[in-house]
Amino acid sequence: MNGRTQALDLLTSLLDGPEMAPGDRLPSERELARRFRISRNSLREAIRTLGERGLLRSKPRDGTYVLARPRSLEVLLSPELLSRRRTLEHIQEARLVLEPAVAELAARRACPEHIARLKILVCEQEMLTMSGRDDGPADAEFHLELARATGNPILVDILEAMDKIIAPCRSQDLRGGPRPVHSRKGHLRLIQAVEAGRPDLARQAMADHLMLMMNEMDLNLLRRADKESPS
């Protein structure tokens, strides 16, 4: 275990324990480095990482404050955990359980404005691909817009948190090839089902779409996971 990983584990345990609560100020870097027996550089890196996850906030000449405990969805699905093959499988399984139901609900509740936005996003995907750029953000936004069409903000939050974690893997490993074309075809099929008000077809379209996309991403993502996993 390297110094940064050790510091991250120790600091996460501190935030998750009874000693600290949201709103509290962390002990000084000097005190934490001495207590944990780690370098201050490793400690600073860990603090910065937890700050990026929304758990800590550093104020110049004041200190570092706790914003939240480390048991949110984004922390449980952190990049460190993403280096493990099993977690990738869990994310895929969660999407297969959740997103077909989202599509079904969207087919029941979507208004014309949602459908118009979905069509625009598919056009954006095509333009990005044709110009040689990554269509990943538009792809992800399509799924979020479908969740918004359900009228349930919790579903949007869950999908948004999951995508925030897996987006770097998708953008690095899945550009080009047949994925963009397959993605757009799947999205067009979803739009047809939602616009027709057919929840059953929307559910099946999403399930089929996810299975195809996951089959294409599995090899690259799992190879990357194995490469990054500590030996």
Do 22 and 110 share a structural domain?
no
Do 219 and 193 share a structural domain?
yes
β-pair type (63-66, 56-59)? antiparallel
For 165-170, what is the mean pLDDT? Answer: 66
Output the pTM of the full model.
0.62
Do 210 and 125 share a structural domain?
yes
Least confident of 18-32, 41-55, 119-133: 41-55
End-to-end, the C-alpha distance of the chain in Å comes to: 11
Q: How far is CA 166 from CA 26, 78, 82, in A?
A: 30, 9, 8
- The H or E element spanning position 58 is strand 56-59
**Integer Cα distance of 102 and 99 in angstroms:** 5
8 A C-beta contact, residue 64 and residue 58: yes
For 76-86, what is the mean pLDDT? Answer: 55
How far is CA 147 from its chain centroid?
Answer: 15
Domain end (from 70, 95, 116): 70
Do 173 and 123 share a structural domain?
yes
Categorize the per-residue pLDDT at 228 as very low, low, confident or very high, splitting at 50, 70 and 90.
Answer: very low
Residue 150: give the domain boundaries. 75-228
Do 23 and 37 share a structural domain?
yes
- What pLDDT score was predicted for residue 215? 79
For 190-194, what is the mean pLDDT? Answer: 98
Flag whether pLDDT at 114 surpasses 90. yes
- What pLDDT score was predicted for residue 220? 55
- What pLDDT score was predicted for residue 230? 42
User: Which pair of tokens denotes residue 185?
Assistant: 């075809």
CATH of the domain at 151: 1.20.120.530
Do 51 and 129 share a structural domain?
no
Categorize the per-residue pLDDT at 17 as very low, low, confident or very high, splitting at 50, 70 and 90.
Answer: confident
Domain end (from 39, 70, 101): 70
- What pLDDT score was predicted for residue 98? 97
Do 190 and 134 share a structural domain?
yes
Do 156 and 114 share a structural domain?
yes
CATH of the domain at 16: 1.10.10.10
Total structural domains within the chain: 2
Q: Is the dihedral of CA 15, 20, 22, 26 positive or negative?
A: negative
